[in-house]
Homo-oligomer: A and B are copies of this chain.
Amino acid sequence: MKKEYSKTEIKIKTAAKSLFLKKGYSATTTREIAKKSDINLALLNYYFTSKWKLFEIIMFETLFDFLSKMVEVYNDEKTSLEDKIKLTCEKYIDMTIAEPLLPTFVLNELKNNPTSFLKMPSTKMIMKSRLVAQYQEGVKKGIYAKIEPIHFVTNIMSLIVFPFMCSPILMKMEKLNTEEFNNLMHERKKSIPKWIIKMIKK
Contacts and interface: CB of A to CB of B under 8 A. Distances in A.
Contact of A172 (B26, B118, B170): B118
Interface string A103-118: 0110110111010011
Given A117-B172, A154-B170, 16 more contacts: A24-B112, A25-B27, A27-B112, A101-B111, A104-B107, A105-B108, A110-B168, A117-B169, A127-B174, A154-B162, A154-B166, A155-B159, A158-B158, A158-B162, A195-B199, A199-B199
A168 B120 CA distance: 12
Contacts of A105: 108, 111
The SS class assigned to the A binding surface is helix
- What is the total number of copies of this protein in its complex? 2
A43 interface: no
Contacts of A173: 123-124, 126-127, 150
A158 to B, nearest CB: 4
B107 A151 contact: no
Given A123-B172, A199-B195, A199-B199, A112 B151 contact: no
B162 A157 contact: yes
A155 B195 contact: yes
